[in-house]
Amino acid sequence: MHETILIYDFGSQYTQLIARRIREMNVFCEILPWSKWGEPVEAKGIILSGSPFSVREPQSPQPNLALLKGKMPILGICYGAQLLAHQFGGEVSASNTREYGRAMFAPSSEVDLLRGISKSTQVWMSHGDSISRLPNNAVCIGSTEDVVNAAYRFRDEATFGVQFHPEVYHSLEGMQLLKNFVLGVCGCSGDWTPGAFIEEQVAALRAKIGSDKVIMGLSGGVDSSVAAMLLHRAIGDQLHCIFVDNGLLRKNEYQQVLESYQHMGLNIKGVDASEKFYQALSGLTDPEAKRKAIGRVFIEVFDEESSAVEQARWLGQGTIYPDVIESISATGGPSQTIKSHHNVGGLPDFMKLSVVEPLRSLFKDEVRRIGAALEMDANLLGRHPFPGPGLGIRILGEVTAEKVRLLQEADAIFIGHLRKEGLYDSVWQAGVILLPVQSVGVMGDERTYENAVALRAVTSTDGMTADWCHLPYDFLAEVSNRIINQVRGINRVTYDISSKPPATIEWE
C-alpha cells in the first residue's frame, strides 16, 4: 500500500485541485465524501475541503471530527478550518463583506506548516464567514489585513486550519504550504509514480478480471488508448477492442484510427454504426437529449458486439476524472452536475457487461504520463482531447449527415493549419462548432445566405479549467479565408474567446 492522504469533500469547487497538487508530489491521495468520516482509515494525513455551506447553517455537513482529530495530521481548508474551530469551542461569524479574491498573508509563527513561506505572500480567499474566536487550545499562526485568524494550529497536535485556498494558482506559495503538510508534517516520501501506478493497476486488473474477456471501446483518443494498453498488458488476448464509426468522427478518422491500433498490437474490430446514430439523433436539438441518444446507441452497439465474444464479462472504458466530476457527484458529496458524459454513470440493466475503468481516478495530464511510461507513441499521447459524442455536440441543433460533412471539412482545415504552422502542441484542445445560424454574405456579385461556424482553441492542463488561445491574427485570417472559400455552405467564421469557467470547453 502506498502512503495515502485522504481528502474529505464538503462540496468545494476546488476539491479536485487539492488532489492534483498532492499527486504532483508523487503522493497518492483519495477523495472521500464527508459522510465517510469516522470509518476506519489508513492514511498519513487528512485534508478537509472547502464547501458552499456555512458551518452556522443547520443543514451544513457536520461530521464528528473528534473521532479522528489528534490521531493523525489534519489540515482544514476554508470550511474545513471553520468546522474545526466551530466544533472545538471557537466561534465562526458572518463576515461584514464576502471575502473573495487576492489577499496578502503574513505568517506570525515559525511552524512546520509555514516553513519557507515568505513574510508576505499572496493567497486566494473565497468565503462569507470568518473565524472570530479560536478554540482555547488553538493559536493563530498567520493573518491577512482583513482576516485575523487566516491560519492557526491546535497546541500539542498536528492539526491546522487555513482560511484561504492554498491549492489554487493565485495562492502563490500555496504549493509550498501543501508540501510542508504532506511531505513534512505527514512524512510522505512521494513514492506514487507512473511506474508504480502501472504495476498496481495491472495486478488489480488481473485479479478483478481473471480469465474473463473484456470488450474495449476505442476512439483514437489518449484516454481510451492508454486504458486499452493497460488492459492489454494485464490480460493480453482476453481484450477484444472495438472501434465504432458513429458518423460523428473527424474527416478520414475511421480508417486512420484502425490502422494506428493495428500497429500497437491490439486485437481490434471496426464497426460502422453511423446510420444507427443518425437515426437516433434525428429531430433532437437539446444537448442533453443528444448526449443521451449517443450514449444509448453506443451501449446498444457494444451489447450486440459483446454477444459475439464468448465469456465477455466486462466493458472497458477510458473514463477519466474530469468526466466523472462533471457528470455526477464523484464523491457522493453535495457537488453539482455540469453535464452528462456518455461513458459515465454505469450501464442499463439489460446489458450483460460490468464496467472496468482503469483511468477513472486520473486527470488528463496524468493519463499522458502513464502512456509515456507504457512507451506509447508520442504523437498519439499528444493528440488533442476529442469528446466521446464527437461532432454531435459541435453541431448546435439537429445533427444531419450534411451538417457533419460541412463540419468535417471545416475542422480538417483548422486542425491541419494548426499542425502546419507548428501551433498544434501549444493548444490543449481545438475544434470547429457549427452554429444554428445562417448569415448574409457576398461571393463575387452574388448574395449568399449560409452557415456560420466558430473556431474554438483553449489551453489547459486537465480540462477542469481552460483559457482561450491567443492564436495569431494572421493565422486566424488564413483559416477563415480557407474555410469560406473551400467549404461550400459556410460563409462566416468567428473565434470563441470564452474561458472555462464560466463557459465550458465544448458548446454543448
Which of 166, 165, 169, 194 lies closest to 180, judged by CA? 166
Report whether 129 contacts 181 (CB < 8 A).
no
Characterize 365-399 residue by residue with b for buried, 16 or more Cβ atoms within 10 angstroms of its Cβ, and e for exposed: bbbbbbbebbebeeebbeebbbbbbbbbbbbbbeb
Q: Cα separation of 20 and 363, whole Å?
A: 8
The three cell numbers locating residue 269: 474490430
Q: List residues with catalytic annotation.
A: 78, 165, 167
Per-residue CA distances from 426 to 80, 206, 367, 429 (Å): 37, 37, 18, 9
Sign for the pseudo-dihedral over CA of 494, 221, 249, 304 = negative
Report whether 227 contacts 214 (CB < 8 A).
no
Instruction: Tell me how many degrees the CA angle 106-110-116 measures, rounded to the nearest 5.
Output: 70
Report whether 496 contacts 456 (CB < 8 A).
yes
Q: Helix 194-209 crosses helix 364-373 at what angle (to 10 degrees)?
A: 90
Q: Cα separation of 407 and 409, whole Å?
A: 5
Which string of DSSP letters, residue by residue, matches 461-473? SSSSSBEE----H
Q: Cα separation of 434 and 406, whole Å?
A: 8
Block residue for cell numbers 481552460: 466
The three cell numbers locating residue 54: 456555512
Q: Cα separation of 159 and 181, whole Å?
A: 10
Name residues whose C-beta falls within 8 Å of residue 342's C-beta, 6 or more positions apart in sequence.
Answer: 291, 294, 295, 298, 388, 389
The three cell numbers locating residue 175: 504549493
Beta 446-459 vs 429-443: how paired, if at all? antiparallel
Q: Cα separation of 371 and 388, whole Å?
A: 19
Instruction: Tell me how many degrees the CA angle 359-363-365 measures, rounded to the nearest 5.
Output: 110
DSSP-derived secondary structure letter, 300: H
Report whether 70 contacts 111 (CB < 8 A).
no
3-state secondary structure of 161: strand
The three cell numbers locating residue 69: 482529530
Amino acid type, 119: K
The three cell numbers locating residue 419: 499542425
Q: Cα separation of 300 and 306, whole Å?
A: 10
